[in-house]
Amino acid sequence: MIDKNSFDEKAVQGLGGQIKIRYKLIPAVVIEIPENAIEKLKSVKGVKKIELDKIAYAYPGNGRGRPPWYTPTQPSQVIPWGIDRINAPDVWNITTGASNGVIEVAVLDTGVDWDHPDLAANIAWGVSTIGGVVSTDPADWYDGNGHGTHVIGTIAALNNDIGVVGVAPNVEIYAIKVLDDRGSGTYSDIMLGIEQALLGPDGVLDADGDGIIVGDPDDDAAEVISMSLGGSVDDTALHDMIITAYNYGVVIVAAAGNEAADQPSYPAIYPEVIAVGATNSTDGVAWFSNLQPEVAAPGVDILSTYPDDSYETLSGTSMATPHVSGVVALIQAAYYNKYGTVLPVGTFDDLTTDTVRGILHVTADDLGDTGWDIYYGYGIVRADLAVQAAIG
């Protein structure tokens, strides 16, 4: 973290350091510097705090140990059990997530197979931040892992009579590659991905100058950030970037983690983030799901899209998270299509991040102890009840 007004970049260079990332939305930079110079870096003018970069991972999608479902001839469409469990099909007569370019979900993951026939029409934009380099070259944000394509399919697979269908089959997706093809990435690259989600394709925050970012038809910031990833270590700079997105009105959803731990991992544990736990087809909490989620969603044996025009069944809180992100998109799209701008500043009826979270809480299927509990949080999300609560 730095003071932008007094930061002495030349002093950093004198220590053999090189600035790799300059964030636009928070006072922070990423510096590559010899290890023996770190102590001296602390005394450089304008340096407020130093943290070592950390690694996050895509939560493993524990498949059934079989090859992906390849499709030399396209199969008839099926509705995955998780989509059905949260009653998403009951909402599609009201909204499918379409909003004339107003509602976008940014998925920070391993990228996407942008040519997949069940996804291509909904991929509005893609960008990679791997290695601290922002690149919109489609080759750079292609998914060579499979995890990101699977997650995006659960949110937004098309209702097109082939393969599968997602929670919000007409929502626009920003595919932001922050994890490499091994499924790992640095916190600094994830922070850059969050920043890209806020800046959008035009690279400008609040392009029309009216102060409204989220849900403004004239701005292209993402309304939802979905992260099926996590790490085990806290980080001030990562948290600051998440706070920035939250303060701009973005709903941030993240996987609670697959370690069967007693609390969510980072960034899901941050109070600005909706932490998602995983359940199975009998509504039991998945054995691997970290405790103390905010809500839960289907995350075991989830069928979704996979690279090379295929499909795969995976398990994990990674698979639960996009169910919730999709429901949030349905809430926002339904609200926008009925009332207009999602975040009309200064009115009592703002569909703010906290309002969306409250809707998820009160409309969830409350399993376990009454109210919030450490296993289900507030319960398994319900798309039908959530959308009805949003639009009245």
Residues 145, 46: one domain? no
Q: Are residues 195 and 288 in the same domain?
A: yes
Q: Is the domain of 222 the same as that of 328?
A: yes
Distance in angstroms (rounded) separating the CA atoms of residues 86 and 81: 9
Residue 109 shares a structural domain with residue 23: no
Domain harbouring 9, CATH code? 3.30.70.80
Residue in 206, 231, 232 with CA at minimum distance from that of residue 219: 206
For residues 290 and 323, state if they share a domain. yes
Distance CA 320, CA 278 (A): 5
Number of domains in the chain: 2
149 and 32 within one domain: no
The answer on 121 and 268 residing in a single domain is yes
Please check whether residues 143 and 111 belong to one and the same domain.
Answer: yes
> Do 185 and 45 share a structural domain?
no
Q: Are residues 30 and 124 in the same domain?
A: no
Residue 69's pLDDT is: 52
Query: 122 is written with which tokens?
Result: 């909904």
What pLDDT was estimated at residue 136? 99
Domain edge (last residue) among 16, 31, 50? 50
CATH number, domain of 68, equals 3.40.50.200
Active-site residue set: 109, 147, 318
The domain boundary residue, chosen from 13, 34, 50: 50
The answer to whether residues 214 and 247 belong to one domain is yes
Do 19 and 76 fall into the same domain? no
Q: Report mean pLDDT in 10-residue bins for the chain, 392 residues.
A: 96 98 98 97 97 93 46 73 99 94 94 98 99 98 97 98 97 98 98 98 84 78 97 98 94 97 98 98 98 98 95 96 99 89 51 93 98 99 97 88
The structure's pTM equals 0.95
In the chain, the amino acid numbered 327 is: V
Closest-CA residue to 335 (of 310, 315, 362, 355): 355
- Which pLDDT does position 72 carry in this prediction? 42
Alpha carbons 156 and 194: distance in angstroms, whole number? 20
For residue 343, what pLDDT is reported? 56
Domain that holds residue 37: 1-50
Q: What backbone torsions phi and psi does residue 220 show, to the nearest 5 degrees? A: -120, 25
